[in-house]
Amino acid sequence: MSPARADGRPGDLALNLRATWGRMYVRVVGSAREPTWIMSDAVFPALSMASFVLLYRALGAPRSFESLAVLGGIMATYWINVLWGMGAQLYWEKQSGQLQLYFIAPCSRMSILTGMALGGIFMTTTRAIFSIAVGFGLLGVRVAPFALAPLLLVFVVTMTALYGLGMTLASLFLLYGREAWHVCNALQEPVFFLSGLYFPLRALGALGAVAAGIVPLGLGVDAMRQVILGPAARGWLPVRVEVAILAVLAVVFLILARASLRYLEALSKREGRLTQRWQ
C-alpha cells in the first residue's frame, strides 16, 4: 500500500476505503444503540405520514393518492437524514469537539463523508421499515405487484444524488455555526413541499420543474412512484428521463461537494472558525 497522503488523493485508495468503512460502521452499529433516536427517526415521520394519508381519506380522494403519500412519507425519512445526518453532521462534530480529529486523519474528507452517507442510507432504510409497516399495514394502503429491479435502480441513483447534495451541505456547515442548525430547520418542510412528497410532483407545475432541477428528492420520489404505481402515480416525466436527470445531478453534486469541501475547509481555517464552538 502506498504511504498515506494528508490530502487523500487517489493513491490512498485502500486507506480511503478503510476510512469509508470505519465511518459507515459507526452508523451501522450505532443505529441500534440509541432507542430514542429510533423513535425520532422511524416513528415520528410515520406519524406525519399517517396524518397526510388520513387527510386524503377525509377528502374522499382515490386510494392511489394514499399510496402516493405513503411513498412520499417513506422518502421523507431519507431527506431528514440527509439534512440532519449529513448536512448538520459536521456541525454536531464541531460542537462535540471531534471535528479536528477528522482533519488530522490522513484520509480524504470525501471518504469520511461517503462512509457517513452509506451508513446513513443503511440506518434510514432500517427506519423506513416502520413507515412501510404503518402505511401498508396499519393504514391498509395497497399497491399492485411491481418489478423490483427497476425500483432498486431508481433508488440507488436517487440516493447517490440526494446524499451527494448532503455532502455539499456538510461542507457548507464547516464554516457556519448556529446558522447551520437553522438552515436545516428551514429546509425541511419547504423541500417536502417542492418535492411533492405528499402529492404528485406535476401538481406543482413549473415550480416543480425548477425545484426538481435543484433538489433530487422530487424526481426520485416521482420515478419510484411510477415504478410502483404505474399510471396511478400521475408521473411528471418518463422514468428513463428522470433517472437520467438524477444521474447527472448525482455527478454534479459529488463534484460540487469535493470542490466546496476544499474551498470551505481552507476558508474556515483562515478565519479560525473550523473548530469554533457556540458560534
Partner 1 sequence: MSRPAVLAARLRTAAWLGWQIEANWADPFTFIVYSAVRPLATALILAVMYRAVAGIASSGQAFLGFYVANAFHEYVIRVLVGMGWVIVEEREEFETLKFVYTSPIGMFTYLWGRSSVKFVQASLSLLLILTTGWLILGLRWDWGAVRWLPLLLSFVLGLIAIVYFGFFVAGWALVLPRAAISVNEGVAAALTLLCGVIFPIDLLPRAVQVVAMLLPFTWWYEALRRFLIGHGASARLSSFSDGALLAALAVSTALFSCVSVWGYGVLERRARQNGKLDQARLF
User: Does residue 186 interact with partner 1 by CB under 8 A?
Assistant: yes
Nearer to partner 1, 10 or 36 (CB): 36
Percent helix / strand / coil, the chain, rounded to 5: 75, 0, 25
Q: Are 41 and 135 in contact (CB under 8 A)?
A: no
Per CB under 8 A, the list member of 6, 47, 251, 259 interacting with partner 1 is 47
Nearer to partner 1, 166 or 196 (CB): 196
Q: How far apart are CA 88 and CA 80, in angstroms?
A: 11
Q: How far apart are CA 72 and CA 87, in angstroms?
A: 21
Q: Which residues of 103-128 are buried (b: 16+ CB within 10 A; e: fewer)?
A: eebebbbbbbbbbbbbbbbebbbebb
Stretch that binds partner 1, among 46-54, 209-217, 220-228, 252-260 (CB under 8 A): 46-54
User: Does residue 190 interact with partner 1 by CB under 8 A?
Assistant: yes
User: Does residue 210 interact with partner 1 by CB under 8 A?
Assistant: no
User: Does residue 206 interact with partner 1 by CB under 8 A?
Assistant: no
Question: For residues 69-98, which are near partner 1 according to CB under 8 A?
Answer: 69, 92, 95-96
Q: How far apart are CA 232 and CA 106, in angstroms?
A: 51
Q: How far apart are CA 138 and CA 54, in angstroms?
A: 12
Q: How far is the CB of 260 from partner 1 (least distance, A)?
A: 21
Q: How far apart are CA 136 and CA 142, in angstroms?
A: 6
User: Does residue 278 interact with partner 1 by CB under 8 A?
Assistant: yes
Residues that bind partner 1 (CB under 8 A): 36-37, 39-40, 43-45, 47-48, 50-52, 54-62, 65, 69, 92, 95-96, 178-179, 182, 185-186, 188-190, 192-193, 196-200, 203-204, 277-278
